[in-house]
Amino acid sequence: MRILLTLSSLVLFVGTMLGQNLIVSPEKPSPGDVITFTYDKDGTPLAKEKSIAAIAYLCVDEGLPNAIEVDLKADGSKLKGQFTTDEKTRAIFIVFKDHKEELVDNNGDKGYKTKMYTADKSQVVKGTYASLANVYGSYGSIMELQRDQAKGIKYFQKELKYYPESKEDVLSAYASMAQRSKDEAAIANVKELLAELKGKKKATEDDKMLAYRVSKSLKDDDGAEAIAEKLRKKYKKGEMVMNDDQQAFYKENDLTKKVALFEAFKKKYAKVEKLDNWLSSMAYRLVAGAGQKGEWDMFDTYLTYLTSANQKASMLNNFAWGLSGEAVDKEAKDIVQAEKLSKQSLDLLKKEMEDLAASKPEYLTEKQWKKRLKGSYYMYADTYALILYKQGKKEEALDYQEKVCSQAGFVGGEMYERLAIFMEDVKGGEVTEAFLSEKIRENNATAAMKQQHRRLFLAHNSLEQAYDKYVAGLEKEASTKFKEELIAKMIEEDAPDFRLLDLNGQEVSLDDMKGKVVILDFWATWCGPCKASFPGMQKMVDLYKDNDKVAFLFIDTWESAKDKEKAVSEFINKNEYTFKVLMDKKDEVVAKYKVEGIPTKFVLDGNGKIRFKSVGFAGNDEALMTEMNLMIELASGKSGVDLSKADD
């Protein structure tokens, strides 16, 4: 029997209890305090994990939090950690993860959090409620939290209640959140505060710019423009005029004129603080434009203005990839320039990895930043390997590609395809055949890889029938292993009901589909991986079209187009997809299903229970179809379809 102490008795001993499994001391910490906590994983998603990581997020009143990786030490059956806050800390969130960062405990999406208090512990520090408002209303996903704008608004209102002088710091964010959530009471409150701001005697330029931004957030374009005109007249080189000049730059399409506007902007505002940030944003457009026109001297010139080495590397890789031809069997546009750009991208990231602290974003731990840089490096190394191969440097290309496929956090099907091609050229058919056999067993082989394997197998064995039998055995082995893995991942959660309109204006209710296995695919027209997965999903729709016990629903969400239905309809019709598309215009269904990124697919059984959740797309149609087919089979209790009947 487990003995539960009351909250008050726990406070007497160790501090405050943040949820059932975390105790933090001191009870009311102040900025600069050393924080000690004890974590009990029992009853959490991490209960069975042997290796657990803890990240403390030190939140400030404005801007993103500072992430600290906390060392955990065993304390009996529990884990103990300690970290130090700083003077800017206004709230703390602690998140626990498994070693691979796949399982998370954040107190059931409530967050393990604590506020910061004044030295006498009588009240929270100024900016504390504002920091919590920004977490829940804006960047909470960093701490594995779902966005909750209603909660964010309440925290902004608390900040203004206890610290009215915070108005200048929070009003812009408060106004944006109130308008996005369509909270009429909050909007009315913002308007009152805006009126006070406009009536302020001896208002500064910052005060007037704040009034302008708040008016824009409230969709009061006329009011905003009236303020803007006064700012332009009074502050000839002020922020409003800077904004105007920058917008003129962005609207200009002629590259030569764009360069002239950039140089004029740089000269005009030479003494402005943080000018580099303004120039970096503008230079990004010049670099992109120069690359598109093949103006490489201009490209190099304005690349130096980008303040982020990671952003530079991304730009370099994108153009290197385009110049490479983007595939082994396509002609390179400019292989020499491609090699130069690609090598430069790798050198930049290598330098970043050698000095992680130099440019690490505050909201990432050093470990997370290193992992992100490493993932980018090997993705860009895939580009470099293709370029080397096309230059005839095949052994060097193979060396890079082997590292890409063995060390990258994400390896798509095309990366393995290129590895197999390079391998056959350098190491020969027998070695490559063995490699391809292994990939088929792992369910990591694309159709092209299977064709290559077939060719090599027949060349060495000469009996086509033997090949068909052999590969069928490999695929069966892969399917059996994959099925066992899926069974271990099966869940049983209630699927939130919804009612949405399809593209014909007909209402579709999930509740009306009881008795069917339902596949929900959350997507958007701007989402590259979503669209890349659709050829494979179309094949699945075709294979199950005669099965009235299986239904596919493609839910368009987070759509960015102004006319959402038009954009979706045009995309679906253009590609001749026969999908049942539902419009989640208000992004309500995606929130109900706690989707954090798209594409995300859910497989529901006939009782309306979520049995599987699949996130992302690895670039392999065959793997996608195998996964979907097995999930449908397990959710329905009946055999799936024969995937070999899918059209090529």
pLDDT, mean of residues 256-260 = 97
Domains of the chain: 7-147 (2.60.40.10), 294-484 (1.25.40), 493-645 (3.40.30.10)
Report pLDDT for 410.
62
Report pLDDT for 195.
94
Q: What percentage of the chain has pLDDT greater than the value 70?
A: 93
Question: In the structure encoding, which two tokens stand for residue 470, read together?
Answer: 């052999």
pLDDT at 1 over 60: no
Burial degree of 300 (CB within 10 A; 0-12, 13-18, 19+): middle
Residues 6+ apart with CB under 8 A from 279: 262, 265, 266, 305
Q: What is the pLDDT of residues 114-123, one digit of tens each?
A: 999 999 999 9
pLDDT at 574 over 90: yes
Give the length of the chain: 648
Question: In the structure encoding, which two tokens stand for residue 517, read together?
Answer: 């296995």
How far CA 521 is from CA of 321, 567, 599, in Å, comes to 30, 18, 7
Question: In the structure encoding, which two tokens stand for residue 587, read together?
Answer: 């992004």
pLDDT, mean of residues 444-470 = 81
Lowest mean pLDDT among 4-8, 348-352, 384-388, 550-554: 4-8
pLDDT, mean of residues 251-261 = 96
Taking Cα atoms as reference points, which of 68, 20, 23, 25 lies closest to residue 47? 20
Q: Are 624 and 537 in contact (CB under 8 A)?
A: yes
Distance CA 198, CA 187 (A): 16
Q: Taking each helix axis from N to C terminus, what angle separates 167-181 and 149-162, rounded to the nearest 10 degrees?
A: 150
Can you tell me whether residue 67 is helix, strand or coil? strand
pLDDT, mean of residues 607-632 = 90
pLDDT, mean of residues 242-271 = 96
Which one is predicted more confidently, 421 or 356? 421
Which one is predicted more confidently, 3 or 410? 410
Neighbours of 21 (CB within 10 A): 20
pLDDT at 588 over 90: yes
Q: Can you give the pTM of this predicted structure?
A: 0.73
pLDDT, mean of residues 507-513 = 93
Q: Quick one: how many helices (H) and strands (E) in the chain?
A: 23, 18
Strand intervals (E) in 466-625: 493-494, 499-502, 507-509, 517-523, 550-556, 581-583, 600-604, 609-615
Report pLDDT for 515.
93
Lowest mean pLDDT among 85-99, 180-194, 472-486: 472-486
For residue 56, list its beta bridge partners.
68, 94
Lowest mean pLDDT among 10-14, 512-516, 601-605: 10-14
Q: What is the pLDDT of residues 35-63, one digit of tens each?
A: 999 999 999 999 999 899 999 999 998 88
Distance CA 453, CA 430 (A): 10
Report pLDDT for 485.
81
Lowest mean pLDDT among 231-235, 354-358, 445-449: 354-358
Report pLDDT for 417.
94
Can you tell me whether residue 593 is helix, strand or coil? coil
Report pLDDT for 623.
85
Which one is predicted more confidently, 264 or 637? 264
pLDDT at 26 over 90: yes
Distance CA 144, CA 44 (A): 15
Report pLDDT for 108.
86
